[in-house]
């Protein structure tokens, strides 16, 4: 009999499994699971919110958990939804967004030996929901909210505001029209990437609206600081409708495709923020610049960005995540938007390995020149293929596989395997097509070896 040992940081779980050689060639699927029921009820998070949003949806609706996924050490993960349930029709003047409060969820992942099929059974348990807010001791209102005037919607401030807490919101009109989109006191926040600090006390969250990059207190959800990002990432003319922002600006991030991915190096000293799509000015250039995605490194000590690099798309329509293998190599989640939740068949959900050692800084380059200096990349994992090899048809592969995390090792079949976790954003539409629980929050657990890294070394952020 062999044993498989799962190590997440300091936690060790011994699992007895059948004997036999491990014949992995490339990353393999070890387990999968869904999360729909919590101690608060079906499709209900642990925020404790009881109000109903403008579109008739509960403010505590559980969904979209895989917009971002981060390992927090042990068997604990942080998962985030985006700006809320705006897939429910409400008002096109605000892109159907509502005063949903951005939040992060704390999830415990329990692995046990499986009796058949995949090697492990995975049981995710939601243990906490933390709401994101800003607080100022000098003024009652620290964030800018929309009045709703002329849009046929109520004001954009969440009903929960008060007692020194001003909550962020998914409402697209919560901005100061006299500032560019990088104004840190805008209340609107569309959370997409998340990572945990090495001391475990902070979470870093990247956003699509600004783009913004903020640090929050992990225990309370209070914003601690805002990080500097390049000025050419911001649009100068702000609108509550994304297409209007695109059509009326000649530079800056493409609306709803801002800073989608976020990584932290294992030493906890550097963040890497990744844009989902080409900037407006790059897209207008055409040619290779339309497939150019810019990403930046940010020094945590100073809070300032240090370098800007270029990435060229291969198959997908954008990038949803980046996660660090070590201090200079990363996995990038390049995908299309097809699959479960889109009514189509998934084609591209791929992880590419990139290396910024020796990469050219493109911060002062136009799109076509930057595209000629893109970082090298190689395919690491074809998720659609591996899921297909395990009986998951292309129409059942989630359309938005956006959350990616690397965690502790598994000793499986007598061989050490590193672990990769992938989660989906289901747009809060768990009952897709009217069928109950047909599009749940899902987690996929992969294992890979040093050999699969083709010469690279995986350095975990929270080593044992």
Q: How do residues 129-185 score in pLDDT, each as one tens digit? A: 999 999 976 555 689 999 999 999 999 999 999 988 999 999 999 999 999 999 999
The answer on pLDDT for 115 being more than 90 is no
Q: Using an 8 Å Cβ cutoff, are 37 and 394 in contact?
A: no
**Per-residue pLDDT at 141:** 66
Separation between Cα atoms, residue 82 and residue 63, nearest integer Å: 9
Task: Give the range among 215-229, 288-302, 366-380, 429-443 with minimum mean pLDDT.
Answer: 429-443
What's the confidence (pLDDT) of residue 9?
41
Residue 408's nearest CA partner among 458, 335, 368 is 458
Let me know: does 174 contact 146? Beta carbons within 8 Å: yes
Paired residues of 298 in beta bridges: 271, 305
User: What's the pLDDT score for residue 24?
Assistant: 47
What six digits make up the tokens of 97? Answer: 């967004």
Cα atoms in the 13 Å half-sphere on the side-chain side of 140? 3
Neighbours of 232 (CB within 10 A): 16
The model's pLDDT over 12-21, given as tens digits with 9 standing for 90+, comes to 343 433 333 3
Assign 423 a pLDDT band (cuts: 50, 70, 90). Answer: very high
The answer to whether 264 and 461 have CB atoms below 8 angstroms apart is yes
pTM: 0.94
Task: Give the integer Cα–Cα distance in Å for 338 and 332.
Answer: 18
Continuous segment of H or E residues that includes residue 354: strand 349-355
> Distances in Å between the alpha carbon of 129 and those of 44, 260, 426?
10, 21, 18
Residue 4: predicted pLDDT:
42
Confidence class for position 391, pLDDT limits 50, 70, 90: very high
Alpha-carbon gap, residue 266 to 198, rounded angstroms: 8
According to DSSP, the residues that pair with 109 across neighbouring strands are 124
Q: For residue 121, what pLDDT band results from cuts at 50, 70 and 90?
A: very high
Tens digit of pLDDT for each residue in 64-104?
999 999 999 999 999 999 999 999 999 999 999 999 999 99
Contact 169, 188 (CB under 8 A): yes
Contact 209, 181 (CB under 8 A): yes
CB–CB of 294/235 below 8 Å? no
Peptide bond into 211 cis (omega under 30): yes
For 128, residues 6+ apart whose C-beta sits below 8 A from its C-beta are 46, 105, 106
Can you tell me the distance from the alpha carbon of 205 to that of 213, in angstroms, rounded to the nearest whole number? Answer: 6
Residue 464 has pLDDT above 90, yes or no: no
């Amino acid at each position: 009999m062999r044993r498989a040992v799962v190590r997440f940081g300091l936690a060790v779980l011994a699992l007895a499994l059948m004997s036999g050689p491990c014949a992995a060639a490339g990353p393999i699927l070890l387990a999968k699971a869904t999360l729909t029921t919590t101690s608060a009820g079906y499709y209900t998070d642990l925020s404790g919110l009881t109000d109903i949003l403008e579109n008739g949806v509960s403010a505590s609706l559980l969904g979209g958990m895989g917009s971002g996924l981060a390992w927090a050490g042990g068997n604990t993960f942080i998962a985030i939804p985006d700006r809320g349930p705006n897939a429910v029709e409400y008002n096109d003047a605000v892109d159907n967004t509502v005063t949903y409060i951005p939040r992060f969820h704390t999830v415990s992942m329990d692995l046990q030996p499986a009796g058949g099929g995949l090697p492990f059974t995975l049981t995710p348990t939601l243990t906490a929901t933390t709401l994101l807010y800003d607080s100022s001791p000098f003024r009652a209102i620290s964030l800018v909210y929309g009045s709703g005037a002329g849009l046929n919607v109520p004001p954009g401030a969440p009903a929960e505001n008060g007692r020194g807490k001003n909550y962020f919101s998914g409402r697209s009109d919560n901005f100061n029209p006299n500032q560019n989109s990088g104004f840190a006191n805008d209340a609107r926040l569309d959370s997409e990437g998340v990572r945990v600090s090495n001391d475990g006390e902070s979470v870093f969250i990247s956003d699509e609206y600004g783009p913004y990059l903020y640090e929050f207190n992990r225990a309370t959800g209070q914003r601690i600081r805002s990080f500097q990002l390049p000025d050419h990432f911001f649009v100068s003319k702000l609108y509550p409708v994304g297409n209007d922002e695109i059509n009326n600006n000649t530079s800056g991030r493409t609306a709803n495709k801002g800073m989608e991915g976020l990584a932290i190096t294992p030493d906890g000293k550097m963040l890497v923020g990744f844009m989902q799509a080409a900037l407006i000015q790059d897209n207008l250039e055409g040619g290779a610049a339309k497939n150019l995605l810019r990403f930046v490194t940010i020094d945590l000590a100073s809070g300032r960005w240090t370098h800007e690099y270029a990435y060229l798309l291969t198959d997908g329509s954008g990038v949803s995540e980046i996660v660090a293998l070590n201090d200079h190599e990363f996995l990038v989640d390049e995908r299309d938007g097809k699959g479960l939740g889109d009514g189509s068949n998934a084609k591209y959900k791929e992880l590419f390995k990139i290396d910024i050692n020796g990469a050219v800084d493109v911060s002062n380059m136009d799109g076509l020149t930057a595209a000629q200096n893109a970082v090298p990349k190689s395919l690491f994992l074809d998720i659609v293929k591996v899921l297909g090899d395990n009986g998951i048809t292309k129409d059942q592969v989630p359309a938005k596989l956006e959350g990616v995390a690397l965690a502790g090792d598994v000793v499986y079949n007598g061989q050490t395997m590193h672990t990769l976790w992938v989660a989906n954003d289901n747009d809060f539409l768990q009952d897709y097509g009217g069928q109950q629980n047909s599009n749940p929050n899902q987690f996929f657990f992969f294992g890979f070896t040093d050999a699969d890294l083709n010469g690279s070394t995986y350095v975990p952020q929270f080593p044992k």
